[in-house]
A and B are shown apart, each in its own frame.
Chain A
Amino acid sequence: MIEVKDAFFAYPNGIEALSRVSLTIRNGEFVAIMGQNGAGKTTLVKLFNGLLKPTKGEVLVDGVNTRKVSVANLARKVGFVFQNADHQLFCETVEEEVAFALRNFGFKEKTVRKRVSWALNLLDLTEYRQASPFMLSGGERKRVALASVLAWNPKVLILDEPTIGQDHQQKDKLRQFIVQLNAQGKTVVVVTHDVEFVAECAPRVVLMAQGNIVADGSAEEILTDRDLVTKASIVSPQITQIFLELEDLGLPNKVINVHDGGRVLLNFLEGRLHERV
């Protein structure tokens, strides 16, 4: 679906943000792009919808080279939800806001209305249809931004740091929502530095540091690797930190969330009990 081949990217002022990055994301995958702030995560995903074109190397979306088509063309397939919803809200009503992209892409009015209703319903925003987006709370505005991207049903959904400023319950709901979207076949790419969030949904993790991809694999493999975590200047999930310290007791150490951690410990202790008996 998305192929990045030996891509480099340098900003006009000369700063190199990406250096020799290669990555393939297949249809239906759930990928988390992780790393410290400034590692190049956002720069990388902006290559996926053509907002940035690689200075060397190439990026193919569905076989099409991003250099050859416009952003609007790529956006049809690759939806991008920006970190700050306030960078895109501008309409008088939520309805207009969600319809904006649909109209840009040339959907017929009847379809636009249907899609808007569907998207609002999906994000629990139907009651706010005629409300002004500026009057909504921070969390609601984020949902409007998300609805406005989902409305045109892009094959790929990119979310840039969706958990910033969210409380625990909002993060939980978001996580469940994303997992569900992915289960329904949408390719989901989440750029995040929130390890606990990633640990709960355990997607494929692409770990970046200083413009390079330093690791690409399962969340359990990467988040439990002490060397990688140090190299990328990230923090392991709290549960992982606990289990890594108990390695010498023979406990499995690829544990990243509370649920698995509890299960492992209880099994281990039960096993011990049986041994003694």
Chain B
Amino acid sequence: MSVFEGFKFRSASSPVHQLDPRVKFFYVCIVFAVAVMFNKLLPLLLLFLIQIPFILVAGVQREWIRSMKGASVLALIIFTMNFVFSYFMPASVPGVEPPIDTPLEYVLIFERSLTMTFRFIVLVESFSVFFLTTSPDRLSLALEQSHVPYELCFAFTTAVRFVPVLAQEAQTIMDAQRARGLELERGNFVKRVKNYVPILIPLIVNAIRRSLELAEAMESRAWGASEKRTNLYVLKMKKEDYSLILLSLIMLVSAIYAWLFIPIPSLTTFLSF
């Protein structure tokens, strides 16, 4: 579960935390676009490194490393799959022709697989920073101001609000059933799955009861009283937000320019082939 810690919001007051979520999301989208544009390793490595300052400024290194650790398993799978795929379908990699017998060709396939893996890593990296530095409250506000229907935003914050409550309830239910002799750790696979029924049913039933109580409380606080719902807080764009937008656009334009006009050296040039 520790990989999820790499995406959970951490309260702090760094400049990155203060940025408007919509702008941060725009930035993440640009990163995604740039990552998808290139097939060579070098630009992706650059993209990976460019985001490190953000992580350091936000002070979320420890949590970010956890998300990277969690992603490493998937990254390995992606690398292996790409390597195998490129080996059997070399037409996708320029400069490689079957049969694959020269070291150069191996390096090219290796580079391609590494590039694909880094695409994934760069994405995880930027999303991790996004969620680590954006509180669910601000995220919901950003959604609201982006004209997402309020019901959905409310469902989102309520869900986040109750995650720790449900987690604790699940623990209590497990304790209660263990105290009646239920052994969750023993038995074969089928038995273990069956053993979770006494945990899931109370959890679900209580969740339904809880949502009924919540609905009553919502109604009692004038839910739906007005078509034009106001908000205690409002997101206003500051100069830091505009700076990030500018930075993202510069990144995008440079990337397009590089993609169109600059031949990017592959790994092979550095390995003196």
- Stretch from A22-30, A75-83, A208-216, A227-235 contacting the other chain: A75-83
Chain B's interface size range is 10 to 19
Residue of A nearest to B185 (CB): A70
Closest to B179 in A: A80
What's the minimum C-beta distance from B212 to chain A, rounded to whole angstroms? 13
B202 on the interface (CB 8 Å rule)? yes
Partner of A90, one of B178, B179, B201: B201
A49 within 8 A of B: yes
Give A213 to B186 CA distance when docked, in angstroms.
36
The reply to whether the CB of A72 lies closer than 8 angstroms to some CB of chain B is: yes
Q: Does A104 contact B (CB under 8 A)?
A: yes
**Chain A, residue nearest B182 (CB):** A104
CB within 8 A of B178: which of A71, A86, A148, A152?
Answer: A71
Q: Nearest B residue to A151 by beta-carbon distance?
A: B180
Flag the segment in B17-25, B53-61, B169-177, B228-236 that touches A.
Answer: B169-177
Contacts A87-B169, A87-B172, A88-B173: A75 and B178 contacting too (C-beta < 8 A)? Answer: yes
Residue B198 at the chain A interface, CB threshold 8 Å: yes
Q: Are B181 and A101 in contact (CB under 8 A)?
A: yes
B200, closest chain A residue (CB):
A90
Quick one: which of A33-70 are within 8 Å of B by CB? 46, 49, 51, 70
The CA of A152 and the CA of B209, in the complex, are separated in Å by: 30
Closest Cβ of chain A to B167, distance in Å, is 13
Which residues of chain A are within 8 angstroms of B206 by Cβ–Cβ distance? 86-87
Q: Main secondary structure on chain B at its contact with chain A? A: helix
A221 to B179, CA, bound (A): 33
Closest residue of chain B to A134 (Cβ to Cβ) is B205
Q: Given that A46-B175, A87-B172, A87-B173 are known contacts, is A104 also in contact with B180, CB under 8 Å in the complex?
A: yes
Please tell me if the beta carbons of A86 and B205 are within 8 angstroms of each other in the complex: yes
Contacts of B173 in A (CB 8 A): 87-88
Q: Is A268 an interface residue (CB 8 A)?
A: no
Q: How far is the CB of A54 from chain B (nearest CB, A)?
A: 16
Are A75 and B179 also in contact (CB < 8 A) when A82-B172, A90-B197 are? Answer: yes
For the complex, give the distance between the alpha carbons of A88 and B206 in Å: 10
B180 and A148 within 8 A (CB): yes
Rounded to whole angstroms, the CA-CA distance of A152 and B177 in the bound complex is: 14
B181 touches A76 (CB 8 A): yes
A51–B175 touching, CB < 8 Å: yes
With contacts A87-B202, A87-B206, A90-B198 taken as known, whether A104 is within 8 angstroms of B181 at the C-beta atoms is yes
4 further A-B contacts with Cβ under 8 Å, apart from A51-B178, A71-B179, A79-B179, are: A75-B181, A84-B172, A104-B182, A134-B205
The contact sample of 24 A-B pairs, CB cut-off 8 A, is: A71-B178, A71-B179, A72-B181, A72-B182, A72-B183, A75-B179, A82-B172, A84-B172, A86-B202, A87-B173, A87-B202, A88-B173, A88-B176, A88-B180, A89-B205, A90-B197, A90-B202, A90-B205, A100-B180, A104-B180, A104-B181, A104-B183, A149-B180, A152-B181
> Which residues of B pack against A, CB within 8 Å?
169, 172-173, 175-183, 197-198, 201-202, 205-206, 209
